Amino acid sequence: MKKSIYILLCAGLLSAVSACKKDTEVITQLDPALKLPVPEPPIQGFDISTIKDTYADIADYANSAKWGPYNLHDPSVIKDGEYYYCFSTDAAFGYGEGTLKPGIMVRRSKDLVEWEFRGWALNGLPQQAVDYIKSVNATYKPNSGIWAPYILKVGNQFRLYYSLASDGFRVSAIGLLTSNSLEGPWTEAGLAVKSGTNGPGTNAIDPSVVVTPAGDHYLYYGSAWDGLFVVQLNPATGLAMNSGDLGTRIVRRGKTGNTYNGNLEAPEIIYNEELQKYFLFVSYDWIDTKYNVRVFRSDSPTGPFVDWNGENADTQSDHVAQLVVGPYAFKEHQGWQGTGHCAVFKAPNGQYFMMHQGRPHENKFFMDMHVRKMFWSDNGWPMVSPERYANVEQTPITRADIIGEYEQVIHGYNTVPGYATEQANPDINVAVANNPMLHADGTIFGDVNNTWVFDETKSTLEMRWAGGLFVDKVHVSRERDWERKKTSTIVMTGYNGGGLALWFKKVN
């Protein structure tokens, strides 16, 4: 997440920092002073159409039990038993300096559609990270909220990594909390990575962890200044294998002149067992405007990671503009921006999903949960559904179903060097003016030079342009049409030959 809290309207100084705790002291979950309501049980007969883009009417803490899909930023997701649990950054619409509650937001769901807000994992800031920041400079103030948690299970222990930054330049810490339950209580278990103003390295925030098939643990982290890093962890402790190790840089962004082309942050790492590759998702640009998700892959957890064209991600360039998801707008909606900092996770049935924040263009300070199904292209790259997940029944799709009119979003990219000021325009990719028409005779727009072929066995479609000179390949599925409030329609996602993401939604 971009580290300028005033943009998020979610910064506030912690009114009091608790006395120093021992390393093994349990941190309670409930802040009795806030008198938060007990989370309400899921509403019987949940109506998905009640999910809104904006939620000012329930934005105050007294209504936090209703925040299921709202105030979602920098998520991390795990499945345990019948529930998916989501941990996320302390960010809340309308709360700023001195009013934000810290503690890592927690919510859960059985179906990834209806979410129950459970409250906060902690009651305040983790003391070990606070102590580190103060040890660097007693005048430094830790940020009022905890950022970008990451959750995983090791044996019977849940490990919850977190980020705490400060007003000291690059003075931050990634700490570890442990528990035998996702409901807590959580115990401080040390600091995995610490960063400072001087020397090589980057900002110690935005952790993500992968466990290799051999049982090795690696943590990925970083933001902005000098790229993203990977450091090996001790599997037994969850902390750096070698104390003080900042790891190795694996991703960088390009510059235009002496100005970076935007922010680089939010690494999310997964290992795909079927493809036997590591996939590193990262976020580019400013959090509430141009924020978008890219991806690199590698045969090794330590890299080199490469882009669509095979270029090393540690090369100082912006690489191929392969947006897995970015600001977009289908027709009949103002669109979504700030679509970055993702969590990627796998359901027990093998289906991959991506969760990320989405900010409605009508008011970019609202932060909504977006969950999308993830698919894999023929050449082994991840792609996500054009529409948010709604647990739509996946009845077989036939060639006859494909025929019709579609809205199309092309995820192009415009490089704008700089940060908040320079990237004020979200550069939303709006649906193209002329809706593509797939005709029964296999032509597109009725032009014999542009044709389509659907493979019902694989649920894939090829669009062949200019007599086959250009070929776009997409995956076909069913999903809710959120813009038109339609229960189910056909959607397609894929890439062209150059890695440009293409989204289609059937409207007629």
Q: Which residues are catalytic?
A: 74, 265
**At residue 274, what is the residue type?**
E
Count Cβ neighbours within 10 Å for each residue of 60-94 and write b for 16 or more, e otherwise.
ebeebbbbbbbbbbbbbbbeeeebbbbbbbbbbbb
d(CA 502, CA 447): 20
Q: How far apart are the first and last CA of the chain?
A: 38
Contacts 24+ apart (CB under 8 A), 222-225: 222/251, 222/264, 222/265, 222/267, 223/1, 223/2, 223/3, 223/263, 223/264, 223/265, 223/266, 224/3, 224/260, 224/263, 224/264, 224/265, 225/170
**Three-point CA angle 391, 394, 396, nearest 5°:** 170
- Give the helix/strand (H/E) hosting 455: strand 447-455
Q: Is 329 within 8 Å of 356 (Cβ atoms)?
A: no
Q: Which of 119, 194, 188 is nearest to 164 (CA)?
A: 194
Which residues lie closer than 8 Å to 50 by C-beta, 6 or more apart?
none
Q: What torsion, rounded to 10 degrees, do the Cα atoms 92, 98, 99, 101 define?
A: 70
C-alpha to C-alpha distance for 185 and 157, rounded to whole angstroms: 12
| 76-80 sheet: strands from edge to edge | 76-80, 83-88, 105-109, 116-120
Token pair 């976020």: residue: 283
Structure tokens at 32: 């009795």
Alpha-carbon distance of 144 to 134, in angstroms, equals 14
Report the C-alpha gap between 286 and 7 in whole angstroms: 10
Residue 255 burial (CB count, 10 A): 13
